[in-house]
Structure 1
């Protein structure tokens, strides 16, 4: 059945405000919840944070008091949605356990987007990034075993493999080489706009998370690893945000943001296995439909255009969290040695990349390498979860 969010009516804005009791949601049980339920929660938190921060930026650049008031009204509801979503995560879970879940989101959400993306250049951007997040999952899983004496398989539940990707120490590139060519807003497929915004928001939330939780650890190797990967997440946000056409007006961006929230809540409502969480997705969808109606109204009034010129008249196939093991293994076998120069991809280490490597590492081993060595020493071997057989790259197979 087709679903056109531009034609649907949601909950009126003046009925969306919730009290503390309504916002005090029951968190998931980390030992029994579907791992992909937790992934959906983490993904939607990132989407809601982006919605709030975008609205703040819009307000700071908007001279019209009436528009600023409308943004403030919607933004407060978005902030309540973000709290309800993020508070679904259990306090019982450690920061590192949540970190591993964040990286599972990055691997399986970005892989799904790469598989569905119609534009070859944009597809390559997602393929490039997923091999780096895949390696981050492996590094954090080893830290998890080393300092918490637990295994990541309990978190990812065999849905996502844990094994080396593109080695993390090779992710440190000159900043200008993290910029990509933006899509053309006039010619790109509407789904491409949603993909770019979704992955940008997810990576931005990961960047924010790591920059804040990293220094809360006492263990030197944990502090160092969060610092290293936190810097790479900044690179990833630059990588993905540069895919968005900078010529999009504030009104266009507002519509795309609200439409994307409708798309994701609708997707997760259809695929959620937990009935209580599904009810939250449905409630928030009905709120977002009204937010989209308001954004569309503002666009018509101030931009002189209809939202149908920017987004599709019906939602695409739902975003689905599912295993992507074969897809990731194919990328490992064919793209693991890629890096970037300018807005393109190369397999040779160029001079600017090598200078950055020398400067950032200073002749020492990166924390991402040290954590594997230390876990080998402490546990007798590094941690991996290879459910589909040996690593597809012979040089990265486990030491025996």
Structure 2
């Protein structure tokens, strides 16, 4: 079992890199393993969250020496984020990157749900993944409409493309997005890492869609990004509310660094591209030193050992990007009709849900439905990739004669 707390890593003073070292060669979009792209997108989101957290910590920290340490580590994390994100190819369109983001959301969240030890937290991931699954389907149809290309080029048959919980039904009252947080004192340390990982990934999607949506001229593209970016904001609320608000800044700093060690270790173990694997290896060695710094700050300012926060057993099993088709089909068959009420899940369309739907839609068809209608108007059908057979929900099956990859 790999225990990051037992390793020192590269000394902090040796971690700054030159422009030459930061100028990494991007992946080849035509030859890359789709899950290599997914790992890059994931680690970009993880690094962005680490940087944003460090900035927020610095704004409330009165200790100048701690602020200086945060500033130095944050600069290194910023270099890491640039290296990771700059491995994505500039030739990829915004929609191609979007499809990659949604493939990450689907297969990352599905894996975490399958391995989450806490039943309530697992249900939170199972609920959310069915919505990202639907977003992938909507964007795949937009992709073919605007760029005359198929999502198969991006997802490579590893992830199916078909309706999930319809996006039109994902607009809920904000009160109902707030979940019950885990208890930091009794929760399995793996659950802390899972929650932070999925929160970071969803936050990245939210920010990306907020910024790229207005760059389109086509009305349907602008509208679809606007609608789904609002759902992603809901998802960030959904996942961030799972974190125990009683966690102080010192333990959250430690958890952030420990999580990065786990993920870089996980991706190093499974990466198929030697050049990308070398980045994961280097960044892991850097993060080990960041973790040691966070552990020392915890001891000095909180009077606790790091094992009291993240456990002493080492990191969980490596997080894997792998197909989750059977699992997702099971969720589609059993949880499609769920919505939220308070901090729980229900099947009835309650008053608050109905009120929110009326406020947004006013009896009109939202962009997520309109994009499918426009695709049918252009091609006579909708775009799907159903490698495992018809949709498990009969009412959502493709109409007779529709294309299936």
Shorter-chain TM-score range = over 0.9
CA shift digits 1:29-54 (9 cap, x unpaired): 11110000000000000000000000
In structure 1, the partner of 2:43 is: 44
In structure 1, the partner of 2:270 is: 271
Query: Residues of 2 paired with 1:129 and 1:56: CA distance?
Result: 28
Cα deviation for residue 130 of structure 1 reads 0.2
Query: Residues of 2 paired with 1:315 and 1:130: CA distance?
Result: 24
In structure 1, the partner of 2:365 is: 365
Query: Residues of 2 paired with 1:336 and 1:120: CA distance?
Result: 18
Cα deviation for residue 257 of structure 1 reads 0.1
In structure 2, the partner of 1:386 is: 386
In structure 1, the partner of 2:403 is: none
**1:378 partner SS:** helix
Residue correspondences, number: 399
Query: Residues of 1 paired with 2:45 and 2:135: CA distance?
Result: 18
In structure 2, the partner of 1:186 is: 185
In structure 1, the partner of 2:124 is: 125
Query: Residues of 1 paired with 2:311 and 2:245: CA distance?
Result: 20
**1:310 partner SS:** helix
Show the 5 A alignment for 1:134-149. Answer: 134-149=133-148
Show the 5 A alignment for 1:159-198. Answer: 159-198=158-197
Query: Residues of 2 paired with 1:144 and 1:310: CA distance?
Result: 44
- Whether 1:79 aligns to 2:98 is no
CA shift digits 1:224-274 (9 cap, x unpaired): 000000000000000000000000010000000000000000000001000
- Whether 1:54 aligns to 2:50 is no
In structure 1, the partner of 2:33 is: 34
Query: Residues of 2 paired with 1:399 and 1:178: CA distance?
Result: 33
Query: Residues of 1 paired with 2:168 and 2:86: CA distance?
Result: 33
Query: Residues of 1 paired with 2:275 and 2:170: CA distance?
Result: 40
Query: Residues of 2 paired with 1:205 and 1:234: CA distance?
Result: 10
Query: Residues of 1 paired with 2:311 and 2:369: CA distance?
Result: 45
How big is the alpha-carbon RMSD for the aligned residues of Structure 1 and Structure 2? 0.4
Cα deviation for residue 379 of structure 1 reads 1.3
- Whether 1:315 aligns to 2:295 is no
- Whether 1:227 aligns to 2:238 is no
Query: Residues of 1 paired with 2:246 and 2:335: CA distance?
Result: 31
In structure 1, the partner of 2:63 is: 64
In structure 2, the partner of 1:93 is: 92
Query: Which 5+ residue runs of structure 1 have no aligned equivalent?
Result: none
Show the 5 A alignment for 1:252-331. Answer: 252-313=251-312, 314-331=314-331
**1:326 partner SS:** helix
Query: Residues of 1 paired with 2:115 and 2:321: CA distance?
Result: 13
Cα deviation for residue 348 of structure 1 reads 0.5
Query: Residues of 1 paired with 2:158 and 2:102: CA distance?
Result: 13
Query: Which 5+ residue runs of structure 2 have no aligned equivalent?
Result: 401-405
**1:340 partner SS:** strand
CA shift digits 1:68-116 (9 cap, x unpaired): 0000000000000000000000001000000001000000000000000
Query: Residues of 2 paired with 1:379 and 1:146: CA distance?
Result: 9
Query: Residues of 2 paired with 1:44 and 1:274: CA distance?
Result: 15
Query: Residues of 1 paired with 2:154 and 2:380: CA distance?
Result: 22
**2:88 partner SS:** coil
Query: Residues of 2 paired with 1:280 and 1:103: CA distance?
Result: 23
Cα deviation for residue 312 of structure 1 reads 2.5
Which TM-score applies when normalising by structure 1? 0.99
Cα deviation for residue 9 of structure 1 reads 1.1
Query: Residues of 2 paired with 1:20 and 1:365: CA distance?
Result: 49
Show the 5 A alignment for 1:5-24. Answer: 5-24=4-23
Cα deviation for residue 380 of structure 1 reads 1.6
Query: Residues of 1 paired with 2:52 and 2:201: CA distance?
Result: 13
Query: Residues of 1 paired with 2:283 and 2:155: CA distance?
Result: 26
In structure 1, the partner of 2:243 is: 244
Query: Residues of 2 paired with 1:247 and 1:361: CA distance?
Result: 38
**1:6 partner SS:** helix
Query: Residues of 2 paired with 1:161 and 1:366: CA distance?
Result: 24
